[in-house]
């Protein structure tokens, strides 16, 4: 089967692909968005929608929905020996238009998909991109449908938003260099009764690592830890009840060698991965989508050099953000012992310095670089 229609084919309907499709459709660009999964995932990795994301989604009406459904994080507290050693408030210090808002990723994706449907575009599910080639005339992609049918699609542009194991990135032959932490990190969504302030994020410094705690809604909390018994640490400060989701994952800090090649661009986890500390992955992917839509729409309207703008602008930001989150992760991680000493003794003191606070808050808010669509 051979088809030729969309101006932009988008591979992957996670937050990055959905946002790219939405931004492009709102500019009148014909898009087609596919996802190999038969259904969206009901589990939510990301919880925190940052100030930058709410800024770029403002015009779409999605920000308003996120802010209405979610709750605004007031700040973060670092605990050592069960007392707060450092605390900072988010909205006050950032001065950004929107506060960081907690909403499970599955809901953010559902709201993006709903806004996209309102533009007349639906996600085609059970369709995987399995190969591509490009030339002067455009990109030829091979799609595999769930029933085994193969389809050849021609499109002027292709956006690879197909996650950390990106087929698009591999087809372009781009390296995904960086490093990985050896140990798995553990995740629980669970009910808990605790004296922890429910309006704040919390990080407990433990001898063998850290425990991150954030309320989801009601009495339900998200817990992430890298030590031997993060739930043991948690039991000191609360009564742990039913676990509704348990998972574990490995942490890598990696950036694709380029943010795209020719008519093919990469966004989101396909282009960059890092630890969830800092809550940047989904947010940075949505920002990629915003910049891509601007560059792609103008490239299609007769300015082909705008594709190169995307590659240059985003690659520099990807490298910078991944480096910064890597530093924060190593600091909080608590290993080896000399870094744990630095974390326990120096961070609580240095964290009171205005410069350090601003840097940390801008990183978490996603406003550590200007939002640029042109070099
Ligand atoms: C524990 C945890 C907590 C996190 N917390 C946060 C947070 O608070 N804030 C934040 O910003 N980020 C957070 N993140 C990161 C965030 O979840 C990811 O960065 C985000 O999901 C990336 O979105 P994406 O659309 O780029 O990729 P994905 O969400 O991975 O979506 C890729 C999509 O592409 C599809 N696909 C894959 N291959 C193909 C193919 N060949 N053809 C068609 N479709 C394909 C997949 O089915 C999938 O739907 C967290 C991550 C973890 C692990």
- Cα of 310 vs centre of ligand 1, distance in Å, is 20
- For ligand 1, atom 5, the nearest C-alpha belongs to 46
**Distance between the two ends of the chain, CA-based, in angstroms?**
40
pLDDT digits (tens, 9 = 90+) for 261-314: 999 999 999 999 999 998 999 999 999 999 999 999 999 999 999 999 999 999
**Domain annotation covers residue 89:** no
- Residue 339 sits at the vertex; the CA angle it makes with 337 and 344, to the nearest 5 degrees, is 95
> How far, CA to CA in Å, does 169 sit from each of 158, 260, 269, 281?
11, 8, 10, 17
Neighbours of 313 (CB within 10 A): 21
Q: Using pLDDT thresholds of 50, 70 and 90, give the confidence band for residue 156.
A: very high
Residue 336, pLDDT > 90, answer: no
**Domain annotation covers residue 138:** yes
CB 66 within 8 A of CB 178: no
57 and 110 within one domain? yes
- Residue 324 sits at the vertex; the CA angle it makes with 322 and 330, to the nearest 5 degrees, is 100
**Domain annotation covers residue 342:** no
111 and 55 within one domain? yes
Residue 12 Cβ < 6 Å to ligand 1 = yes
pLDDT digits (tens, 9 = 90+) for 12-22: 999 999 999 99
- For ligand 1, atom 25, the nearest C-alpha belongs to 14
- Cα of 46 vs centre of ligand 1, distance in Å, is 8
140 and 58 within one domain? yes
- The CATH number of residue 297's host domain is 3.50.50.60
Mean pLDDT computed over 185-193: 96
Q: What mean pLDDT, rounded, does the chain reach?
A: 93
Mean pLDDT computed over 46-71: 95
Domain that holds residue 279: 2-73+100-180+252-336
Nearest-angstrom CA–CA distance, 73 and 198: 9
273 and 153 within one domain? yes
| List of residues 6+ apart from 17 with CB closer than 8 A | 10, 11, 33, 35, 159, 161, 162, 267, 268, 289
257 and 245 within one domain? no
The SS3 of residue 271 is: coil
Residue 273 Cβ < 6 Å to ligand 1 = no
High-pLDDT (> 70) share of the chain, %: 97
pLDDT digits (tens, 9 = 90+) for 71-129: 999 999 999 988 999 998 876 545 567 889 999 999 999 999 999 999 999 999 999 99
113 and 24 within one domain? yes
- For ligand 1, atom 13, the nearest C-alpha belongs to 46
| pLDDT score for 363 | 85
**Domain annotation covers residue 90:** no
DSSP 59: G
293 and 190 within one domain? no
332 and 189 within one domain? no
Residue to substitute in 16, 123, 281 for testing ligand 1 pocket (most ligand atoms within 8 angstroms of CB): 281
């Amino acid at each position: 089967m051979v088809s030729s229609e969309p101006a932009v084919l988008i591979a992957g309907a996670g937050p990055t692909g959905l946002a790219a499709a939405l931004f492009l459709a709102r500019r009148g660009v014909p898009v087609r968005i596919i996802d190999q999964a038969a259904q969206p995932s009901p589990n939510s990795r990301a919880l925190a929608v940052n100030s930058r994301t709410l800024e770029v989604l403002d015009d779409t009406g999605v920000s308003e929905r996120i802010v209405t459904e979610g709750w605004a994080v007031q700040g973060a507290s670092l605990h050592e020996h069960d007392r707060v050693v450092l605390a900072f408030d988010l909205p006050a210090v950032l001065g950004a238009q929107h506060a960081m808002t907690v909403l499970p990723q599955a809901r953010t994706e559902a709201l993006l998909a709903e806004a996209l449907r309102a533009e007349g575009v639906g996600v085609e599910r059970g369709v995987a991109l399995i190969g591509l080639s490009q030339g002067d005339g455009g990109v030829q992609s091979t799609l595999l449908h769930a029933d085994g049918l193969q389809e050849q699609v021609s499109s002027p542009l292709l956006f690879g938003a197909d996650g950390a194991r990106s087929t698009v990135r591999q087809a372009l032959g781009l390296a995904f260099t960086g490093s990985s932490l050896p140990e798995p990190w553990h995740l629980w969504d669970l009910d808990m009764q605790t004296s922890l302030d429910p309006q704040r994020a919390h990080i407990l410094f433990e001898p063998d690592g850290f425990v991150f705690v954030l309320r989801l809604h009601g009495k339900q909390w998200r817990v992430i830890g890298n030590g031997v018994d993060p739930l043991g640490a948690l039991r000191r400060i609360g009564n742990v009840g039913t676990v509704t989701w348990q998972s574990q994952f490995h942490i890598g800090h990696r950036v694709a060698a380029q943010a795209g090649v020719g008519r093919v661009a990469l966004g989101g986890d396909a282009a960059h991965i890092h630890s969830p500390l800092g809550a940047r992955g989904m947010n940075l992917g949505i920002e990629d989508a915003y910049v891509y839509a601007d560059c792609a729409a103008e490239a299609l309207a007769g300015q082909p050099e705008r594709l190169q703008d995307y590659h240059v602008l985003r690659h520099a930001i990807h490298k910078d953000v991944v480096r910064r989150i890597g530093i924060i992760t190593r600091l909080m991680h608590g290993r080896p012992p000399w870094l744990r000493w630095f974390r326990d003794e120096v961070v609580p003191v240095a964290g009171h310095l205005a410069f350090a606070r601003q840097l940390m808050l801008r990183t978490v808010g996603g406003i550590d670089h200007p939002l640029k669509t042109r070099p």
